[in-house]
Amino acid sequence: MIYLELFWIFFRIGLFTIGGGYAMIPMITQEIVDEKGWLTDTQLLNYIGISESTPGPFAINIATFVGTSQGGVLGGVVATFSVVLPSLIIILIFAAIYSKISKNRFLRGAFDGIKPVVTGLISAAGVSIALQVILPLMNLKDFSSADSWFDKFDWVSLILVAAAFGASRIKIKNKKLNPVILIVGGGVVGYLVFGLLIPAVAPGYIAAG
């Protein structure tokens, strides 16, 4: 039954996702794309973009989108509830006992070991997404299939990725640009470039997604 599958998959994802919503991307890719085949890499990338562009935590948004795509509104509710449930249970337990265990050196050591692993998972997810955006014509599961990396690059997307990365590091009055500004700006630029300019001058151009 699809609802039980959604519950169990997103419960596990919520239980083992440590370090924020982006850390769940590798697990979602493995569970939803590779094993279940519910989404393609491109569809998942689109859902990630939508989740980033809508209000609310990333983890909840992506669970809602995937759940709804597979089980309708009820599927979205089930996926959202199940991805939040482990955190709710764990936080309630930690809140009750934190003052007693916060100085435990074994627990602090465990978290010191978890942080670099989570960093690696997030980095791997970021690289995978970046490759899908700037190399949309390449089979990323079989790099040997590409005749020429140069010919496979989506140069427009590469420029936008670099521009967004650079803009995210800019500080104005000691404050970084709000990510919402970058996302909205990306949408406007995407509409102008991919929606209007490129179809007019290069109808055969294929961009990511």
Q: What single string gives the DSSP state of each residue in 161-194? A: HHHHHHHHT-EETTEEPPHHHHHHHHHHHHIIII
Q: What is the pLDDT, as a whole number, of residue 73?
A: 92
* DSSP for residue 204: T
Q: Which tokens hold the place of 85? A: 């449930």
pLDDT at residue number 140: 47
What are the DSSP E strand ranges found in the chain?
Answer: 171-172, 175-176
In the prediction, which pLDDT does 8 show? 92
Calpha distance 67→83 (Å, rounded): 11
Q: What type of residue sits at position 22?
A: Y
Residue 43: predicted pLDDT: 82
**SS3 category, 157:** helix
The angle that helices 41-53 and 58-101 make with each other, rounded to 10 degrees, is 70
Are 51 and 65 spatial neighbours (Cβ–Cβ below 8 Å)? yes
Q: Are 208 and 132 in contact (CB under 8 A)?
A: yes
Burial of 59 (0-12, 13-18, 19+ CB in 10 A): buried
209 residues of the chain, pLDDT tens digit each: 889 999 999 998 888 876 666 677 788 888 888 888 888 877 887 787 777 767 777 778 888 888 998 889 999 999 999 999 988 898 888 787 777 776 777 777 777 787 787 777 777 777 777 777 776 655 444 445 445 555 566 777 778 888 888 887 777 667 777 777 787 888 888 778 777 777 766 665 555 55
pLDDT at 147: 52
8 Å CB contact between 107 and 50: no
Q: Which one, of 201, 208, 114, 102, lies nearest residue 153 by Cα?
A: 208
Q: Which pLDDT score is estimated for 150? A: 54
Residue keyed to tokens 């074994």: 106
Residue 43, token pair as written in the block:
């569809």
